[in-house]
Structure 1
Amino acid sequence: MDQQTRQAYLARIGIRQAVEISPEGLAQLHLQHLRTVPFENLSLFLDQPVQLNEAALVDKLVRQRRGGFCYEVNHAFARLLASLGFDVSLLAAQVFDGTVYGPPFDHLLLRVRFDGGDYLADVGFGDSFLLPLPLLPGACSHQPGASYRLASTQGQLSLLQCKQVDDWRPLYRFSPDVHDITDFEPMNRFHQHSPASHFTRRPICSLARPDGRISLSGARLIITLGADRLEQPIGDAVTLRQCLKKHFGIDLSGEQAALLFARGCAAGDAVTSATGSTPSRRR
């Protein structure tokens, strides 16, 4: 990533001053990324292939001011970190769906190394930790809205989240093995095209806010403020377009909004009603 691209990326996430190559600097970048770059899968309903090369990612996240799912936003964030001088690697995780763990390479996350220890970074999971986690099994991190800890089992680490007292639930598990982005391509294709992927069922768009989180799931806008949750229906493409622009900074054309609503929102809600399925925890 060249200097001009790096500066444009930093401006995109609201960073205009020098960043320290330290855990504190990583935390600043991590939080700003989560509050400015949405976790979203809208491309899957807009005939836009998800490409993982740097040029495509920069064009989408920085120039178009869009977001993406884990393979996009975490890989882009990794390229930004590396260009700043951070020691960052790609790790692969299996996401827990409430019953079983998904396949290998179901999720991409990051390890960032410092002399004082390693940290886990993840700006591509939706409702998860806001600040990087020390890669220390058993260590507990109390953050706004939830607590997190890593549990070690048979050579793997499981990320656990607790939103109520002593109610620890797994989000995903991963190994310390380092991977290249090409290792994630088969699952990137799966999540774009397979009916078995939750990403192909309905549009998802989610952004952390200082007071909570705001999310689009199908034809519903979900606003979470602490323990309070408000849902608002989205009844047409015009409202959808206005919602994406106002809350997520995503500026679709009228034609794109109509296509997204027809393919994703109306159809996605019909599938939800028929099957009784609920949105993924990645939201």
Structure 2
Amino acid sequence: MNDREREAYLSRIGYEGELRTDKKCLEKIMELHLCSIPFENLEVFDEGRIPSLRSEDIYEKIIVRKRGGYCFELNKLFYEFLKALDFRVIPVAVRILWNREELPPVLHRATLVIFEEGSYYCDVGYGGPGPKKPVLMKDGIHREKNGWYRVNMKPGNTNGEILVERKKKEKYLPILRFSQIPAVEADFELLNFYCAKSPDVLFTRKRVVSICRPEGSVALTGNVLTIQKEDGSIETKISDSEETIRLWMEHYFGLEFLQI
């Protein structure tokens, strides 16, 4: 990512101020990204296409055309931006365990950012209830506005993979599992193809769009719009009108140029 592209990325997320390779700056970049660029599978569901993972195509889609994307696009863009700033970064392949009774395959991309005190899990491409701030890969509890998480570095039944759990009704439930071994870009191409074409994957069956807000989050799943506020209250809207859904796309997610 060159200087011009870095500046355009910063403009897209609304970042102002000095750039530094420290945790505070990383946290701010991640927060702004999540509140500015929506998670969306519209290229897969509405357009019937396999998203390109070429760096130039991701940049054109998300930064120039102001679209969103899903994990393989969003987290690759985030990874390449951090790498261009000289952060030490590692791409990792992740299992999403939330609300799953059986062990799922690896179908997600995220990023580890390495500092002197350890590595931090960063994810700007998960449309679900994952952590929205960098999480230190160290045994213990990670608390943030949207929930409580627990990191287990050496659980006994994960074949060496790190386990991250999320608190729900006073109980910690599995949400993420992954290895700190760097993933290979070619592997993400295969996973991307599967997620875009398999009838077993949610993205081929239902429209999914979400974005964080300082006061909560907004998500569109199928024809159901869910607005979650900081105080925990939830507002739900349902519509079978494509025109209404298009207006929701524009108003809540900034996808005004998308034809659905």
TM-score normalised to structure 1 length: 0.86
Other-structure match for 2:202:
198
Q: What is the CA distance between 1:25 and its match in structure 2?
A: 1.0
Q: Residue 49 of structure 2 contacts residue 196 of structure 2 at CA under 8 Å; is this kept in 1?
A: no
Does residue 1:188 correspond to 2:192, yes or no?
Answer: yes
Q: Residue 241 of structure 1 contacts residue 252 of structure 1 at CA under 8 Å; is this kept in 2?
A: no
Take 2:168 and 2:144, find their aligned partners in 1: how far apart are those partners?
Answer: 10
What whole-Å deviation, never above 9, does each CA across 1:219-250 have from its counterpart, x for those lacking one? 11111124322110123121111111110011
Q: Residue 91 of structure 1 contacts residue 178 of structure 1 at CA under 8 Å; is this kept in 2?
A: yes
Other-structure match for 1:3:
3
Q: Residue 75 of structure 1 contacts residue 181 of structure 1 at CA under 8 Å; is this kept in 2?
A: no
Take 1:6 and 1:145, find their aligned partners in 2: how far apart are those partners?
Answer: 29
Which of 98, 101, 111 is equivalent to 1:99?
101
| Cα RMSD, aligned residues only | 1.3
Aligned length: 252
Amino acid of the residue matched to residue 172 of structure 2? W
Which of 245, 251, 260 is equivalent to 2:256?
251
Take 2:131 and 2:215, find their aligned partners in 1: how far apart are those partners?
Answer: 14
In the TM superposition, 1:186-265 aligns within 5 A as: 186-225=190-229, 226-253=231-258, 256-257=259-260
What whole-Å deviation, never above 9, does each CA across 1:51-90 have from its counterpart, x for those lacking one? 1111011011111111111111001100010011111110
Take 1:239 and 1:58, find their aligned partners in 2: how far apart are those partners?
Answer: 29
Other-structure match for 1:41:
41
Amino acid of the residue matched to residue 7 of structure 1? E
Residues 86, 5 of structure 1: CA spacing in aligned structure 2 closer, same or farther, 3 A cutoff? same
Give unpaired runs (5+ residues) of structure 1: 258-283
For structure 1, which segment, 11-20 or 193-202, has the greater mean C-alpha deviation from structure 2 after superposition? Answer: 11-20
Does residue 1:14 correspond to 2:14, yes or no?
Answer: yes
Take 1:156 and 1:179, find their aligned partners in 2: how far apart are those partners?
Answer: 13
Identity %: 28
SS of residue paired to 2:255: coil
Q: Residue 87 of structure 1 contacts residue 114 of structure 1 at CA under 8 Å; is this kept in 2?
A: yes
Take 2:143 and 2:168, find their aligned partners in 1: how far apart are those partners?
Answer: 10
Take 2:110 and 2:150, find their aligned partners in 1: how far apart are those partners?
Answer: 16
Take 1:69 and 1:159, find their aligned partners in 2: how far apart are those partners?
Answer: 21
What whole-Å deviation, never above 9, does each CA across 1:169-196 have from its counterpart, x for those lacking one? 1112101110122111111101101101
SS of residue paired to 2:228: strand
Give unpaired runs (5+ residues) of structure 2: none
Does residue 1:148 correspond to 2:149, yes or no?
Answer: yes
Take 1:11 and 1:169, find their aligned partners in 2: how far apart are those partners?
Answer: 37
Take 1:103 and 1:145, find their aligned partners in 2: how far apart are those partners?
Answer: 26
In the TM superposition, 1:80-119 aligns within 5 A as: 80-96=81-97, 97-104=99-106, 106-119=107-120
TM-score normalised to structure 2 length: 0.93
Other-structure match for 2:125:
124
Take 2:113 and 2:241, find their aligned partners in 1: how far apart are those partners?
Answer: 43
Amino acid of the residue matched to residue 164 of structure 2? L
Take 1:55 and 1:115, find their aligned partners in 2: how far apart are those partners?
Answer: 32
Q: What is the CA distance between 1:155 and its match in structure 2?
A: 1.4
Amino acid of the residue matched to residue 173 of structure 1? R
Which of 158, 162, 165 is equivalent to 2:167?
162
Take 2:134 and 2:61, find their aligned partners in 1: how far apart are those partners?
Answer: 24
Other-structure match for 1:266:
none
SS of residue paired to 1:118: strand
